[in-house]
Amino acid sequence: MDSTVNTWREGRAGRIRLNRPKALNALDFEMVTRIKAAVEEFGADPQVHLLLIDAPERGFCAGGDVRGIRAAGLAGDVKTIEEFFSTEYAMNQALADCRKPVVSLINGVCMGGGIGLSVHGSHRIATEKAMFAMPETAIGLFPDVGMSFFLPRMPGALGLYVGLTGARLTGADAVHGGFATHFVPEEKLGALEAALLADGVAVIPAFTAPLPAFSLAAHRPVIDKAFGATSVPEILAILAADGAGFAQSALALLREHSPLSIYWSFEIIRQGANRDLAQALAAELALVRQITRHPEFHEGVRAVLIDKDRAPKWSPPSLEQVDPAAIAQLFA
């Protein structure tokens, strides 16, 4: 029992526990392979009544192992990249297809691939220590793991807002937005876990706490107006015209992140509104093949996760300089 993912049967549950705490449980090829296999095995095992995914130490899951992906991209190792993403996305689909309840206990950082690991399951339990974000535009990537399907289905234009800005949501806000389904205080997680093993998902409501108000409620009108626009320049213009602090900080996040990435993320999320999950994952796989070879992604991962100087040199450096034809070409 000392692998980067441990799986076992306990009580009514098939258990999947992330165990790569030094990397905040960032998912590598071995992990997505094992999780996908476990989801399929537990799904077919008549003794398993629910799947329970958790991470006992720091955080839930920081995302994908993008350092490893960058190294493969720089080495021209197309096969490693293809195997990782096709297996990760197949794992996302397997979670969505599982006919048993899939419960994730999220008591810390849950970003990118961590959202993909939880959101396609039926029950996502968030505590007051949970933090949710889709931060891919900060590293020159885009919201993948089925999020081009999920984000356009969030209330109003909230999905575009979180997907383009990388804004962080608390556990309570994640329930309001739909990333999570239940709000349970950390102090009750141990008792919830024991009750789930004994009795299954019917116990969950007994452990929830009153949901704090949605901290973005007051900002929904400007979020929906700006991020509901039909182009990136329109989003920028609507935010710029709004003098309030919230619109200005959203604009600042967009200006800080990769301009190219904002454009290709906008496009794939827009397209995802008209796709089912399988179609969205297939489109993401086609795009991620190109992006993982793109200098913008290599620079973003360098600045945020390798050198950690947080001073990426984006090319082009501003949203105004992005050539729409270059974006269209990526989707051709």
Catalytic residues: 64, 113, 136, 144
User: Does 141 interact with ligand QUE (rule: CB under 6 A)?
Assistant: yes
Residues in contact with 218: Cβ distance below 8 Å, sequence separation at least 6, in sequence order: none
Task: Pick the stretch among 42-50, 95-103, 138-146, 155-163 that binds ligand QUE (CB under 6 A).
Answer: 138-146
Residues in contact with 245: Cβ distance below 8 Å, sequence separation at least 6, in sequence order: none
Which of 38, 94, 139, 251 lies at the binding interface for ligand QUE (CB under 6 A)? 139
Residue with smaller CB distance to ligand QUE, 73 or 135:
135
User: Does 167 interact with ligand QUE (rule: CB under 6 A)?
Assistant: no
CA distance readout (Å), 177 to 25, 157, 172, 174: 24, 10, 9, 5
Residue with smaller CB distance to ligand QUE, 64 or 152:
64
CB of 140 to ligand QUE, least distance (A): 9
**How many CB atoms are located within 10 Å of the residue 22 CB?**
8
Residue with smaller CB distance to ligand QUE, 7 or 137:
137
State CA 21 to chain mean position distance. Answer: 18
Within residues 88-127, the interface with ligand QUE by CB under 6 A covers 111-112
User: Does 131 interact with ligand QUE (rule: CB under 6 A)?
Assistant: no
Q: Is the peptide bond before 295 cis (omega within 30 degrees of 0)?
A: no
Within residues 277-306, the interface with ligand QUE by CB under 6 A covers 304-305
Per DSSP, 303 falls in state I
Within residues 37-66, the interface with ligand QUE by CB under 6 A covers 62-64, 66
Which of 28, 88, 136, 267 lies at the binding interface for ligand QUE (CB under 6 A)? 136
Kind and range of the H or E run holding 29 = helix 29-44
Cβ contact 146:120 at 8 Å: yes
- Ranked by CB distance to ligand QUE, the top (closest) residue is 63
Residue with smaller CB distance to ligand QUE, 134 or 222:
134
Q: Distance (Å, rounded) from C-alpha 186 to C-alpha 197? A: 18
Tokens 């999220």 correspond to what residue?
106
What would the two tokens of residue 155 be? 């209330």
What would the two tokens of residue 93 be? 């689909």
Within residues 202-241, the interface with ligand QUE by CB under 6 A covers none
Kind and range of the H or E run holding 280 = helix 277-291
Cβ contact 14:48 at 8 Å: yes
Residue with smaller CB distance to ligand QUE, 24 or 247:
24
Per rule CB under 6 A, count of chain residues that contact ligand QUE: 16
Residue with smaller CB distance to ligand QUE, 117 or 216:
117
CB of 77 to ligand QUE, least distance (A): 18
Kind and range of the H or E run holding 267 = helix 259-272
Task: Pick the stretch among 18-26, 31-39, 70-78, 240-248 that binds ligand QUE (CB under 6 A).
Answer: 18-26
Residues near ligand QUE (CB under 6 A): 23-24, 26, 62-64, 66, 111-112, 135-136, 138-139, 141, 304-305
